[in-house]
Amino acid sequence: MAEYQKWTRADLINRIFELEGKDPSTAQGAVPDPPVKASKAKRNESYDISRHPVRKIAIRFSYLGWNYGGLAVQHEDTPLPTIEGTILSAMQRCRLIPESASLFDLDFSRCGRTDRGVSAFSQVIALKVRSKLSPEEQQDPANDNKELNYIHILNQLLPPDIRIYSVALRLPEGFDSRFSCEYRHYRYFFHKGDLDIDLMRQAAKLYLGEHDYRNFCKVDGSKQLAHHNRVMLEAEIEQLSDDIYYFNLKGRAFLWHQVRCMMAILFLVGQKLEKPSVITDLLNPEKYPGRPVYDMAHDVPLVLYDCTFKEPIEWITPNAMPQERMENSNFKHWHDVMLQSTLSLAMMKHIAERTGSERTFPRAEDGDSDRVAVVNGSGSFSRKIPYVPISKRKMLDTPDVTNEKWRKRKEATQ
């Protein structure tokens, strides 16, 4: 008897028909099973994205990298989400790309890879996505205004610190975000404090041209690079406001952590801990075959400011989404950040006025002039220790030795 207490009304009625010798499926008054609601997985299976046309597009977007584990999507779990992972997840949610598609399947490419904490004002990725237009319709530019409004669709799903602001529907033949890029433009923002800007400007000019940057990067043995020569097209210190400056840097390609290493040495020059000529010395692989040990500049102030391509790209902005709505969305996020920044600065100024402190950087105390606090761009400083000149520091392995060690480790695991 107890087992019937768990039965539904329909099950009980059908059981009565069975006991009376009637077929419950044909008996008059039989209660049909309630319709089974399709699961989310079933509903997704019913939408076959492979039946829809695709096209290759490029999207240009900005992001604040403080809350992310870098740009590039990773195969394994990461402590923080990545920018690309967040964008690709949004594309899967709105069915612009299949959930099972690999980056290879999508013909995916990125322009400039940024590490954890680094931001970008103009990043570009290209990939194949679902299209509203048939392949024949895609050939006619007059149909572009009928295409899916990719910017509007994605910005509705993305967090406010990732904003897509233009899309290119018609890319040059063989376009690749990385290899079609002519140069990348970085800016590293910093507070002037006690830094000697004139000395930093003298030093920055020494980066111009083609040089061996092995001592301004983290050498990665897995890349097996034969050389570390890179061309810098612009390298200068510019003023943004009264106390805020930035290192303006343009180059055709960059090594791992190159900009942060270049900035770290500029900070040492600005603090008068090193002469500008230290850059000339570090660019000489005969004098420094391996990189002297020094800390990189902090990641957060670094921005991929822009990227320029070898062939002109026709970028378009949203057509279906009212421009006013897009601007309001962007304004809200900007206003929140601006207000927080303004209040923080006002609070620090208030404290400085009340305490009579005008110092911007920690300095060596009287009688302790051989101990310094080294600037790293984060607003914090390495602890006060006797400063060791670059020329007297231990050198890391040369790139050749690093490459050889990596090859031996790989052979040992095979």
Q: How far apart are CA 304 and CA 188, in angstroms?
A: 9
Q: Are 59 and 71 in contact (CB under 8 A)?
A: no
Q: Above pLDDT 70, what percent of the chain?
A: 82
pTM more than 0.95:
no
List alpha helices for 194-239, DSSP H: 197-205
Backbone angles phi, psi at 165, to 5 degrees: -125, -5
- Is 90 exceeded by the pLDDT of residue 140? yes
Q: What pLDDT sits at residue 216? A: 97
The 10 Å Cβ neighbour count of residue 80 is: 13
- Beta-carbon-side half-sphere exposure of residue 177 (alpha carbons within 13 Å): 23
- Is 80 exceeded by the pLDDT of residue 120? yes
> Where residue 130 falls among pLDDT bands split at 50, 70, 90?
very high
Q: Are 180 and 166 in contact (CB under 8 A)?
A: no
Closest to 309 measured CA to CA, from 128, 112, 141? 112
239 membership: H or E segment, kind and range: strand 229-239
The 10 Å Cβ neighbour count of residue 9 is: 8
Backbone angles phi, psi at 153, to 5 degrees: -60, -50
Q: Which two tokens stand for residue 366?
A: 């009287």
Q: How far apart are CA 391 and CA 292, in angstroms?
A: 8
- 33 carries an active-site annotation: no
Q: How far apart are CA 25 and CA 11, in angstroms?
A: 12
CA of residue 395 relative to chain centroid, distance: 31
Least confident of 41-55, 117-131, 297-311: 41-55
Q: How far apart are CA 135 and CA 131, in angstroms?
A: 9
Q: What pLDDT sits at residue 38? A: 42
Angle between helices 258-270 and 197-205 (to 10 degrees): 140
Q: What pLDDT sits at residue 381? A: 72
Q: Which two tokens stand for residue 64?
A: 């604040």
Q: Are 57 and 129 in contact (CB under 8 A)?
A: yes
Angle at 259 between CA 273 and CA 61, to 5 degrees: 145
Q: Above pLDDT 90, what percent of the chain?
A: 63
Q: Are 126 and 109 in contact (CB under 8 A)?
A: yes
The size of the chain, in residues, is: 414
State the amino acid at position 254 in one-letter form.
F
Tell how strand 54-63 and strand 371-372 pair up.
unpaired
> Where residue 25 falls among pLDDT bands split at 50, 70, 90?
very low
DSSP 343-395: HHHHHHHHHHHHHT---SS--PPTT-TTEE--B-SSS-B---EE---GGGSPB
Averaged over 220-236, what is the pLDDT? Answer: 94
Q: What 3-state DSSP class applies to 338?
A: helix
CA distances 23 to 10, 17, 30, 31, 151, Å, are 14, 7, 9, 12, 58
Could you identify the residue written with the tokens 């400011």?
A: 305
Q: How far apart are CA 270 and CA 268, in angstroms?
A: 5
Q: Are 251 and 233 in contact (CB under 8 A)?
A: yes
Among candidate residues 33, 77, 107, 115, the one labeled active-site is 115
Spell out the domains of the chain, with CATH numbers in brackets: 51-134+145-179 (3.30.70.580), 181-314+361-407+410-414 (3.30.70.660)
- Is 70 exceeded by the pLDDT of residue 214? yes
Going by the DSSP 8-state scheme, the letter that residue 30 receives in this structure is P
